[in-house]
Structure 1
Amino acid sequence: MNTTSNRKRRIGAVAILGLAASVAAAGTGIAATTPPSTVHATAVTAAAAPQPRSFQGALPAPTGPFAAGEDVIHLTDASRPDPWVPSSGPRQLTVTMVYPAVPGTGTPAPYMTLGEGAGIVQRQHLPASSGVTPQTLAGVTTHAFDGARPQRGKYPLVVLSPAYENPRMVLTSLATDLASHGYVVALVGHTYEDSGETLANGQTPPCMICDAPASLDFDAVAAGRALDESFVIDQLTHGNTAWPLAHLIDKHEIGTAGHSLGGAAAAATMIADPRVRAGVNMDGSFHPDPTPGQITRPFLMLGTTANTDWEHAWAALGGYKKWLTVAGADHFSFSDLDLLHEQAGFPTPPLSPERGVAITREYVTAFFDRTLKGIHSPLLDGPSPNNPEVNFQH
């Protein structure tokens, strides 16, 4: 795969369950709506009329000692208009806060709102026969709990940014696991950049930048996401008014991670905001590549073996850095998407979706443990017999 096609591939993954409309009415096939260079879909012929599918999604339970509490907050940046729809007024963001909680407290949190689920179904033209409905999407088991009692103490903050077209909740399995290991996580929904984020007024506006990716300036999108992330950090660390549990955050230990375009946003945030001490790019092209001296704090690159456009970024990174590839993974392996694909009965890559989630959780947590908590993990020292799929590139 050449650099140009690979860069396009990792601009972003289409929203959850990237399934083509051809799952649909005639029941003649399954195909993903991602560009042909990324998709792992295959045509499946059916001799008879399709039976309605049954979809009951469930994310894996967190692996740490704490439960995962969850709050959804709504923030408004009065200092700037929305970059995509200026007429809508100041930039509005919906953010899911996931935090270390006391087991057995709170009530199960929905995966998303019905409005967000409807946005996915509408954008992907998913038929009722797929079994993927707003209700079944909202009902995916998350192992996060609304109103859960927080653990005592202060914890590092990790800001997460999803892929282009992907709503924030597709990084929930990573967020809940980080919280279970003692992190406060802010899952940022970038309004008008995905299938829909439900705002404070209850509306769920659609994507305004998804229909013409070829003409989109992704450097500008990544820079805008960096502004979103820094604003969220401001709101969570100044005055403790944006979120009632902001006292849990250690404002001196902040990291950022993202998938695909969200990975580019993580790098852009590190360049723009010196408060962010460590960053992770999960299978995303950089927009633009950093230049020497711009990122001198710890950085992890975790991606597929198809990466061909990270060499320049790698050379420019200073300080502690790791570049890991995962054999058999595809672009969706680093989010919830492949797992939900599998549970809905659709094709998945050679790497099992469960392994993709487990590897992502283990290595991202180990990286932040080392860089934000000062806890050494041998997982980052070199190849592990427990994770034979993970290769150290440098």
Structure 2
Amino acid sequence: MLYFYDFLASGLEVFSMCCVLGILREQYWDLRKILGTVISLAAATTGLDAVGIEANLGINIALVIAAIKLLYKNEFWKTVSDAISGSTLVVVIEMFTTYLLHWIDPAFMDQWLKMLVYLFCLAAFFCGLALFARSRRAFWTYYQKYYGMIGIVCLNFLFVQLAELYNWNETDTVDISILVLVSITVFSNMVLALKLIKNQQQKEELENQKRMADLKESFLQQMAAEQHEFAKHLQTVQIMISDRECVTRQVVSEYIEELIHKRNAPTHVGYVGDGVLSGFLNQKQKDAEKRKIRFHVLIAKTVSEFPCSQTELIELVGNLLDNAFEAVEQLEGKHRKVLFEIGRNGKTIFLQTVNDNPGNPIKANQMVARGVSTKKGHLRGYGLFNVKTIAEQHGGKLEIRQNEDIVMVKIYFINSSGQSGSP
């Protein structure tokens, strides 16, 4: 009976941990793997208790790391960071609730039925918290970006928590001074984490601004060079026309036709309304040429203001184009082409890519799921998920349409009246 109680109690604690992991990353929302984790870790901790080995916090974290690594095939340091961050959140809630219950009823910890009810309520709380976080989605992207920093701060707290647990186990009493110390530690660690993340964000913003400035400068230089070159051609035409004795009308006509053909060739992208985006599209044009992809930009109407920041805009357009380029690279000949269109329909801004369908059997709703991709390789399937996340954060929508011939991925931002105008 005692082992059965240990198994149930451990299972509820592991389930709480799985729910917290689901708050950190979407990939942990796999019911079969959650069930496997709960059963395997509960059995492991019960087995350790049976042979007289106490499954303390350190052993529990090690078991969680091993389970995540085996079931989800994550990178080792990401696995460690996830286990530490998840354990910290669970331990913080457990610590304060058990202290409160111990203060109300000092014999609470010795009553196994009450403990099971407590652990069940705790698991239900974490499950509800995870479902709420899942509906928001934004935290997944945030944690993925700063998981290392968050993990280090959480590890700092766990050291303090281990000392506090040791004191409780040795004295079997709750020292208010230690509880206050732990509370201060939790608060200071949260402040430290926010400060570190804010500093990192400022550093990234400076780097992004420099990159945006370089793109804009590159675009302006390219436009200036092309204007200078075109002016020289016009001057040449003027000289040819004035020198009628040496230059025939046919020669002038052929020169002008060649000049028109050169100007119409897709060697550069015009001004789309935003200098940074124009420069970025010119860079993607060069990238397409290297990859032997015909890349065309259609400017339905120039757009100078976007609801998202410039860095988000570049990330959004970059992911759209990278996704389209990688799709057509699987094709040959005339099918290796991508169309990018930007414009405005009333107050609704739209961006879209159109490319030939490479024939991969994947549904539109699967395309935007994190980690789902038709391409081989590690860390695939995040492009359209990030596009969808950015668009939705600014009131926009991602729309995917496809048939046997083409794939169209469109983003349109909802106008100020709240009505979406999908053009």
Q: TM-score, normalised by structure 2?
A: 0.20
The structure with the largest alpha-carbon Rg is: 2
RCO comparison, higher one (Cα < 8 Å, 6+): 1
Q: TM-score, normalised by structure 1?
A: 0.21
Query: Which structure has greater helix proportion?
Result: 2
